[in-house]
Structure formats: C-alpha cells, structure tokens
Amino acid sequence: MSIKFACIEDFYQPHYRLLPFRFSKLDAKRYFISTDYGEWVCLTSEQLSVLVNKKEITDKKLYYELRSKHIIINDEALDPIPLLASKYKTKKAFLENFAQLHIFVLTVRCNNSCIYCQASRKSCQSDSSCFDMSEAVLDSSIDMALSMPSSTLTLEFQGGESTLTMPLVRRAVERVQQKNTAKEIQFVLCTNLCDVNDDDINFLIEHNFSISTSLDGPQSLHNANRKFSKAGAWEALTATLRHIKQKNAFDKVSALMTTTRESLGLHEEIIDEYIRHGFSSIFIRELNPYGFAQKYFNKIGYPTDAFLAFYEKCLDYIIQLNKDGQPFRESYASLIVKKLVTPWATGFVDLQSPCGAGFGVILYNYDGNIYPSDESRMMAETGDQHFNMGNVLTSTRAELFLGPVMQELALAGVNESLPVCSDCAYAPYCGADPVRRYQVTGTPYGRPGKDDFCYKNQNIIKMIIKKLTSGDSQTRHILLQWGLQ
Ligand code: SF4
Ligand code: SF4
C-alpha cells in the first residue's frame, strides 16, 4: 500500500488563529518571537504587524514555518494541545524527580587565598573542629541525598579546599557504596588541585570522580588572582594536571575561570592557555557578588557592559579558532544554543525556571545547615541566613522542603510568573535566580528588566541568537554543533 502525503499547498489558508507567543525586540530591524515550549522565529516589524493583526501572510515559507512551530494554527488542524503539552513537559523534565545535584561543603578551610574567594575561606591552619564537617553530619547528609526520589544523583564535594578533608570524601564514597541500592551516582570533586597526593588522585580516578578545578588564564593572571605558598597556585595546579595526564585521566578534569578586571584585556591569552593544557572547552564566568568578591569589588570588579564586551570577544575568538581547525567550545553559549535548538532541558541550574536553587540543588554545609544553593551558603558565611532551610540533624523533611525558604523560592523563582519576565520572549532560554537577586537588589523578586541578572542574560541570549541567525554559515554551523553535543 502506498501512502500519499498531502501537497504542501493544502496546508496554506489565509485565515488563521494565533497560539500563545511572546515577542521582544532583538535589534533595530527584528523581533524575536518565542513560545513557552521553546519554538522561536525572528520577524521584521512588518511581518510581526501582519501576524498580530491576523492579516494574510503572503510569504508562504514564513506561513509554513509559523504553522510548524505552533505559533499559528488554522481551523482544520488537529487539536494541538496534547502535542504542545508533551513538548512543554519535555522542556521541564528537570522537575520530575526533584533535586539531582547535592553539594557537600566538607570544610571552609583552604590552602589558597584567592582575591575573589566567594566561600569566605578560613586558613588551612584554622581549627578543623570548627570548620570541617563532622562524620555525623556527613553521614546524615549522604543519607538525606540518597533518599531523594531521583534515580540519578550528582554528589559534589567542595570547600574551601575539599582535598584537605580527603578522609571525609573517602567515608562518603564508602557510605554511598553501602547504602545505595539502585541509584546512578556521579561523584564530583571541586578542588584547586594545588596539593593532592598520589594516593588521593588514584582514589578519585578509581571511583570515577569528575574533577572540577579553576584556571583563570596564563601564569601571571592566575597567580595574581589565586595565591598558594611561595611557588604560586598556577605552578602547583599545572604540575597536578601533568600528573593526572600521565595517568591518562585528564578527560575527568574540567576547569572554570573567573573574570576579574585584569582578565578583561586578556581574552586571547586566557583561551590559548586552556587550549595549551588540553581542555576542550571554557566557561567564561563573571565575578559573582558574594564573599570577598563583593568586599573587593572596587578593586577587581567591572560593570556588566565590560563583561559583555569581554564575553563577545572571547566568543568571536573561539569561533575563529574553530574555523581555523581548532575544536573548542564556550560552555555558556553551548547551553543557550542547546536550549534554542533542541527540545531538551539542559540540567544547568543557573538558567532554569523554576529556579535551580532548591528545586535542582540541595547544599549541605559543614555545620549541618542546609541551603538551596552554593550562593546562599556564601551569603550565610557573611552573616545573612535568609536562605537557611534548616539543619540535617534536627529538621524534619517537611520543615526543610516545604518550609518558608522553599515557599519563597517557588514564588520568586518562576520566570513565567514574574512581572516583566512573563512578557519576555527570552524567558524560555533564561531562568530565575532569587538568591542572586536578593543579594543584589534586596528582594528575591529582583527587578526584572532592570537588574544585572536580566541585563547580562538577555544580552548574551540576544548575542547568540544574532550569531545563529545572521552569522556566516560556518559560525552558524559551529554554534549548532556546540548545542547538539
Ligand atoms: S576561591 Fe576556592 S580555592 Fe580560592 S580561596 Fe576560596 S575556597 Fe580556596
Ligand atoms: S530576567 Fe530578563 S531576560 Fe530573563 S526572562 Fe526575565 S525579563 Fe527576560
């Protein structure tokens, strides 16, 4: 039996109805149109005017695109709701099993002293009984994480410097091995890699840890930002990286960079440094306003516009490197492209709605207190306990997960219902960050449309959409590849 498809013209009808969408200005000539389920298109102001006035769309290619993206519908079409509901559910799949990322702050002691330390670290000679997690807190925290509904969990150990408490890391792994029956567990260790012995490296490799470290750029920049003994943090870090390479485990290591004022003129040097060490990607991160970074902002900070200009220079340089045959990615852009071109959620908690804080992440502090994110415990270290959810040893589950902190996050962390965000076409690719907004503006609702979270994200999303839609074909191809990886 042969199946015949209707001819494409059969789908064209001058009369149509609108399905829900939002539109926002993209540049002087174009508007960005998006739907809740993540479809999007760019239109000129004339095309947008035709659309919103439901006039006849004579450009048939555009008509078919709008129909296929469920921005318009004609009277004879099948009920689109089941399909759209399924697409929406796929986009929000990260909510299905509650928090998957569980962070354990094993200590706030550290052997580095970084100018922007957001963890308000204490010296490594400080009293470990005051600043390290006790075994009782660790055991209860691991048990709490394992009791979560998700079948896959990421358990991330950090500090301070996590490797100062390797016996606790080993104990945690042992407890997981004893108690976990069915969950898929990924271990992550955040470490400056300045002073890790061979035994500990072997342990991490043996237990398939992902190792997350920090590399701010070339030697002089890294050492200016991050101090470690007389030799310098760069020398110690790169020696450990060489050691891990000798063990053929470099694929387990990823690095984050933090942008300080000194980084702004060094985009090529920073990226070249990553490539020289063999990394395949970089995450260009701005300075976040917590801990020492906030205290010394006058010395090391910069306006958001300066960060955006730096970010674009980095992106253009990386794209050019790819064109010249050097595969390399920028991670933040890759996440946004993935959101734009695939139906999937990214799992990246900083760009989620409902917000990653609490719904995607639970943090167990060394003192047993529980917070919805790393940033909220950083605030607690500087005296603001606004997001303290309770304590792992003394609070009930209802107090922790249905208490006032989670209630507030549920109200302030959904961009679909925030003023301004709810009308913003970039909302499906953006997120909500009540913790940062509270820190910067004094309210978890922030000032969408005006605050720095909005300004930075909206401009980066626009930058990427412009490169995806107006860049040359090689640029578009490279960005698409990043999003599909
Ligand atoms: S940023 Fe990390 S490595 Fe640097 S001082 Fe703070 S805790 Fe230590
Ligand atoms: S924060 Fe700004 S860019 Fe993001 S959804 Fe809200 S209004 Fe849009």
- Note down pLDDT in tens along the chain; length 485 residues: 566 777 777 777 778 999 999 999 999 999 999 999 889 999 999 999 999 999 999 999 999 999 999 999 987 777 888 999 999 999 999 998 899 999 999 999 999 999 998 877 888 877 887 899 999 999 999 999 999 999 999 999 999 999 999 999 999 999 999 999 899 999 999 999 999 999 999 999 999 999 999 999 999 999 999 999 877 899 999 999 999 999 999 999 999 999 999 999 999 999 999 999 999 999 999 998 777 778 888 899 999 999 999 999 999 999 999 999 999 999 999 999 999 999 988 888 889 999 999 999 999 999 999 999 999 999 998 899 999 999 999 999 999 999 999 999 999 999 999 999 999 999 999 999 999 999 999 999 999 999 999 999 999 999 999 999 999 999 999 999 999 98
Same domain? For 71 and 111 the reply is no
* Distance of CA 482 from the midpoint of ligand 1 (Å): 30
Q: Does the CB atom of residue 119 touch ligand 1 within 6 A?
A: yes
Report the atom number in ligand 1 closest to the C-alpha of 192. 3
* Distance of CA 110 from the midpoint of ligand 1 (Å): 6
Same domain? For 138 and 263 the reply is yes
Report the atom number in ligand 2 closest to the C-alpha of 353. 5
Q: Where are the alpha helices (DSSP H) in 35-134?
A: 45-52, 60-68, 81-91, 128-131
Bridge partners of 169? none
Strand (E) positions, 326-420? 329-330, 361-364, 369-371, 390-391
* Distance of CA 430 from the midpoint of ligand 2 (Å): 6
pLDDT at res. 124? 80
Helix axes 434-441, 452-470, angle to 10 degrees: 130
* Distance of CA 419 from the midpoint of ligand 2 (Å): 9
Residue 320, SS3 per DSSP: helix
Q: Does the CB atom of residue 112 touch ligand 1 within 6 A?
A: yes
Residue at 326 is within a domain: no
pLDDT at res. 122? 87
Residue at 405 is within a domain: no
Strand (E) positions, 325-393? 329-330, 361-364, 369-371, 390-391
Residue at 162 is within a domain: yes
Same domain? For 165 and 298 the reply is yes
* Distance of CA 377 from the midpoint of ligand 1 (Å): 14
Residue at 170 is within a domain: yes
In this structure, which residue's CA is closest to atom 4 in ligand 1?
A: 114
**Choice from 112, 213, 237 to test ligand 1 binding pocket (greatest atom count within 8 A of CB):** 112
- The last residue of one of the domains, among 302, 324, 354, is 302
Q: Please choose, from the candidates 389, 425, 333, 397, the residue with its C-alpha nearest in 3D space to the C-alpha of residue 23.
A: 425
Same domain? For 176 and 288 the reply is yes
What CATH number does the domain containing 200 carry? 3.20.20.70
Q: Does the CB atom of residue 161 touch ligand 1 within 6 A?
A: yes
Collect all residues with Cβ–Cβ distance below 8 Å to 249 and sequence separation of at least 6.
201, 205
Same domain? For 137 and 217 the reply is yes
- The last residue of one of the domains, among 302, 333, 351, is 302
**C-alpha separations of 387 from 201, 369, 407 in Å:** 35, 10, 11
Same domain? For 80 and 124 the reply is no
Give the position of tokens 């090689």.
474
Residue at 467 is within a domain: no
Residue at 425 is within a domain: no
Same domain? For 79 and 155 the reply is no
Distance (Å, whole) CA 21 – CA 38: 10
In this structure, which residue's CA is closest to atom 6 in ligand 1?
A: 117
Same domain? For 127 and 87 the reply is no
Residue at 444 is within a domain: no
- Enclosing domain of residue 292: 96-302
* Distance of CA 229 from the midpoint of ligand 1 (Å): 13
Q: Does the CB atom of residue 190 touch ligand 1 within 6 A?
A: no
* Distance of CA 146 from the midpoint of ligand 2 (Å): 34
Q: Does the CB atom of residue 192 touch ligand 1 within 6 A?
A: yes
**C-alpha separations of 216 from 54, 189, 195 in Å:** 52, 18, 18
- The last residue of one of the domains, among 302, 332, 349, is 302
**DSSP code per residue over 439-467:** HHHSSTT--TTTSHHHHHHHHHHHHHHHH
**Choice from 106, 107, 226 to test ligand 1 binding pocket (greatest atom count within 8 A of CB):** 226
Nearest ligand, CA 430: 2
Same domain? For 234 and 146 the reply is yes
| Count of domains observed in the chain | 2
* Distance of CA 280 from the midpoint of ligand 1 (Å): 24
In this structure, which residue's CA is closest to atom 2 in ligand 2?
A: 454
Residues in contact with ligand 2 (CB, 6 Å cut-off): 415, 420-421, 424, 426-427, 430, 448-449, 453-454, 457-458
In this structure, which residue's CA is closest to atom 7 in ligand 2?
A: 421
Residue at 360 is within a domain: no
Same domain? For 84 and 106 the reply is no
Q: Does the CB atom of residue 448 touch ligand 1 within 6 A?
A: no
Q: Does the CB atom of residue 478 touch ligand 1 within 6 A?
A: no
**Choice from 108, 113, 114 to test ligand 1 binding pocket (greatest atom count within 8 A of CB):** 114
Distance (Å, whole) CA 113 – CA 228: 7
Same domain? For 234 and 188 the reply is yes
Same domain? For 67 and 106 the reply is no
